[in-house]
Chain A
């Protein structure tokens, strides 16, 4: 039913738009664009998830993106729609997804946007401190383009820029969790395998549960500086251990979270220096004594990006998470539950090289955690045949000594992917 609605909606929109050459004019103040992209990701480890779908394929899909943007003649009122209609061959289903849909108004120092919108804060490359907004890691680890890592939030953003200072306030009444690789597509070690959580409850849509995020940014001594605050929930759910032990089942939920942080970025030498830090205050476990609810933690990131030679970029990052109240965590952790280290650090490197007038782009991202002894590697090749047609080939490789670490648990899900995209 949903799919049918989607098809009819999109058909009507497409039928309306194309005779008008998809360009804004007096009668039709919208610009219509989009792309068609087909992506397949093949697991190379030969293993298949028990009870999973798709055989050796992690992903097989065709996607139609429709991007409609319009504004009033003065430009002060505007509308943005980005929606996908897709066929998922792995699940054999047709579905649709609203990636972004918001209306906005801008006047003088005020800019307001309401609806589903993608927000990206902070200065990290795949390592996030103050970007507390929802992410789709399953998408990212199965070969979809980078933009699919970010999920929109359903809320209102108010930006106020009275002078050199810019203030962003976000109110998000409807909670969106992070999406992690699911055991239907990924061969994953799940410590909860033996117990069956009865599902996940997302925070109730109440006034008091509304997520609030604040950013104050300005230029200071050559730095782009931002102060961040967030009041909401951890985006990955947890299962209360007490319920598990008592009944063998448990309802996963999202514990409450506050984040206080700052970020700064500036030119330094021939490159760009990025610094970011934050404190994650786990409000449902402020003493760190409740097992399964994440303890409060510090996060810190330092990065430097420069150009070693023409048409190339090298980015290096160091990232660390430090658990607060580690003693309480260790003292209250029940037997048999895997122990987390106090520190989780990651060193990352991204190298990008453009060739032949940017018609070829080679890139590789490598993340290695010396503390957890695990790694993630993503090499990618992008070939642009024309302004419209491009092909992407890449791979996701995971490894680690332990099956419980972030990358290590995906080590049996290495995959290669290929994608063809046509822009219109």
Chain B
């Protein structure tokens, strides 16, 4: 409910910055990049920030070139902090056996490295994770940590390349180029004009070759929020892919702040992670 209001609040400072710098830039390019940044910002809001909070049971199937499958099942809880773009994530692993009951806590900050903690149940220990891990594989999947909790919109320069239909859905096609060294040198994203959810993303590596492809296969409206419930990240070069299914999705549950603390790492909130 307060979400839409917040969206407007967030894009306002951004917009004013862009308009303030407009005269300094070559006009057509500036106009397109203003639009592109807005689209990406809206897409970010739709994809990572929908609802004040969210819960989902996430199944990740890691599929190798030879067809061998590995499975990770986790419960993800997410809460947007009021009045800003900070977020809190809590993840509890149900499967596989050697990581069962492992929990992750992530506090994200716009324009600053995330704080991340992991709880290792075998030794009953909470440990901090280095922020530089953001490019590392998330639990052995084709997603990295950054894909899971989102990359700052301001970290890339966005350009609207064209507008076209993808599978009959009108999309913006946005090119994003990282401002500093990143996992990719260029990203092309097809963003659904109506939901602002990404339909497809292509990541190009330092050899300027296609490295990874993200595809949103199924979008459902849950609690009023269009939600990607089936998605795939494919490593094109290594012929490895990760298929992700979101189930038992709920929004606006009023998740208490206390869930997103180091205490719940050790003592997971059973009510929410069943």
Interface residues of A (CB under 8 A from B): 33, 35, 69, 71, 74-75, 78, 106, 111, 117-120, 145-147, 149-150, 159, 161, 166, 217, 224, 265-267, 270-272, 305-307, 310-313, 354, 357-359, 384, 386-388, 390, 421, 423-424
List 9 contacting pairs A-B, 8 Å CB cutoff, sorted by A: A78-B270, A159-B263, A166-B263, A267-B130, A307-B130, A307-B135, A310-B136, A423-B96, A423-B98
Q: Mark B178-199, 1 if CB is under 8 A from A, else 0.
A: 0000010000000000000000
A56 CA to B135 CA in the complex, in Å?
A: 44
CB pair B123 A147 closer than 8 Å: yes
Asked if B70 is an interface residue, CB under 8 A from chain A, the answer is yes
Q: A166-B262, A307-B133, A358-B139 are in contact. Are A117 and B124 (CB under 8 A)?
A: yes
With a CB–CB cut-off of 8 A, which chain B residues contact A421? 98
- The residue from A33, A270, A384, A390 contacting B132, defined by CB atoms under 8 A apart: A270
CB of A33 within 8 A of CB of B98, answer no
Question: A357–B240 contact, CB under 8 A?
Answer: yes
Closest to A76 in B: B270
Option from A106, A271, A311, A423 in Cβ contact (under 8 Å) with B137: A311
The distance in angstroms between the C-alpha atoms of A267 and B134, with both chains bound, is 13
Of B124, B133, B270, the contact of A75 (CB 8 Å cutoff): B270
B267 at the interface (CB under 8 A from A): yes
CB-CB < 8 A to B122: which residues of A?
145-147
When A and B form their complex, what is the total count of cross-chain residue pairs whose Cβ atoms lie within 8 Å? 103
Q: Please tell me if the beta carbons of A354 and B271 are within 8 angstroms of each other in the complex.
A: no
Contacts of A270 in B (CB 8 A): 113, 130-132
What is the interface size of chain B, counting residues whose CB is below 8 A from a CB of the partner?
39
Interface centre among A111, A387, A390 (most CB of B within 10 A): A387
Which residues of chain B are near A307, meaning CB under 8 Å? 130, 132-133, 135-136
A-B CB proximity, top 8 nearest: A75-B270, A423-B97, A358-B140, A270-B132, A147-B122, A387-B96, A120-B125, A307-B132
Mark contacts of B82-115 with chain A using CB atoms, 8 A cut-off: 1 yes-contact digit, 0 otherwise.
Answer: 0000000000000111101100000000000101
Select B95's contact among A111, A265, A387, A390, beta carbons within 8 Å.
A387
Q: Which B residues are CB-close (under 8 A) to A272? A: 128-130
Cβ 8 A contact of A305, one of B68, B113, B130: B130
Indicate if the CB atoms of A271 and B130 lie closer than 8 Å. Answer: yes
Shortest Cβ gap from B36 to chain A (Å): 28
Which residues on the A side are within 8 Å of B34 (C-beta)? none
Which residue of A is nearest B240, CB measured?
A357
- Residues of B contacting A386 in the complex (Cβ-Cβ under 8 angstroms): 68, 70
Q: Cβ of B269 < 8 Å from any Cβ of A?
A: yes
B62 within 8 A of A: yes
Residues of A within 8 A of B262 (CB): 166, 217, 224
Cβ-based interface call for B75 (8 A): no
Chain B residue at smallest Cβ distance from A388 = B97
Nearest chain A CB to B253's CB is how many angstroms away? Answer: 15
Checking A146, A305, A311 against B123 with a beta-carbon cut-off of 8 angstroms, the contacting residue is A146
Q: Which residues of A contact B142 (CB under 8 A)?
A: 357
Closest-CB distance, B127 to chain A (whole angstroms): 8
Whether A224 touches B70, Cβ cut-off 8 Å, given contacts A111-B267, A166-B262, A388-B97, is: no
- Is B141 an interface residue, CB under 8 A from the partner? yes
| Distance in angstroms between the alpha carbons of A310 and B235 in the assembled complex | 15
